[in-house]
Amino acid sequence: MGREVERGEVVAIMGGNGAGKSTLLRAMNGLVPHFYPGEMRGRVLVDGVDTREARVSELARKVGLVFQNPEQMFFCPTVVEEVSFGPKNLGAEGEEVEKAVNQALSEVGLSGYERRSPWSLSGGEMRRLSLAAVLSMRPDYIAVDEPTTGQDAGGKRGLIRLLHRLAREGRGIVVVTHDVEWVVDLSPDRVILMSGGRVVGSGSAEDMLGNSERLVEASLYPPVTARISSRVIGRVVLRPSELADEVLRIAGSA
């Protein structure tokens, strides 16, 4: 693949079903090949450590993975126990655990849910809980698989704010999604397009999301604003506000 994710960077990995996005995420924290067997070519390095040679428990301190199906992560009877499991497993105790749990739940908007059962939550709340369980371990890199599924508009906006704040704090953020419109709002530093287990495009959000040929190759549709702008003003813009400004400028000069 030949790609790097830096701390402080937000990267979106996009593609259709079967593109290899989720497999790539699992390779980032060693689940591939340690738990998901198969042929693995090349290397995945996390801060210089080859994931094939490190234990998954060691990599968990570096890379936190939020699964596409959050219920796969849950095994504790309450929310607070679920979020505290990770820090305790890493050796934290007492007030340190309590602080990490409270902060993580607050960050995802689940304060007050401590005694709830994870399985009593809505789909969107489950996704936020799975993210909190990872945040409580304070990893250097956070990889999130299809985070917008089950989230309403407010939840999606809140997720964008959270991911960018985590990046500003120095964490590397990797998001796997096929939600093109959400990625426009996310404004990641880089977009990687995948198809059939290989990278078919990598670059800025503007370059990748504005390239209809690359998007089609990755089994994705161009953003609505990109399709409209190419017809109305003859070039691609991604944001509705930018399109509106350009239309007004053209109308004013007519």
pLDDT of residue 96: 97
Pull the structure tokens for residue 231.
Answer: 């017809």
CA-wise closest residue to 205 among 237, 235, 233:
237
Query: Each residue of 197-219: b (16+ CB within 10 Å) or e?
Result: eebbbbeebbebbbbeebbebbb
The overall longest dimension of the chain from CA atoms, in Å, is 68
Pull the structure tokens for residue 193.
Answer: 């397009």
78 Cβ neighbours under 8 A, 6+ residues apart: 114, 115, 116, 117, 118
The three-class DSSP label of residue 43 is coil
How many CB atoms sit inside 10 A of residue 4's CB? 10
pLDDT of residue 186: 97
Matching CATH number, 10-203, of 1.10.3720.10, 3.40.50.300, 3.40.190.10, 3.40.50.720: 3.40.50.300
pLDDT of residue 73: 82
Pairing label, strands 198-203, 190-195:
antiparallel
Low-confidence ranges of the chain (pLDDT < 50): none
Length of the chain: 254
The three-class DSSP label of residue 69 is coil
pLDDT of residue 151: 87
Task: Specify whether the CB–CB gap between 238 and 211 falls below 8 A.
Answer: no
Q: How distant is the alpha carbon of residue 30 from its chain centre?
A: 17
Spans of all domains in the chain: 10-203
pLDDT of residue 104: 97
pLDDT of residue 2: 58
Task: Specify whether the CB–CB gap between 30 and 209 falls below 8 A.
Answer: no
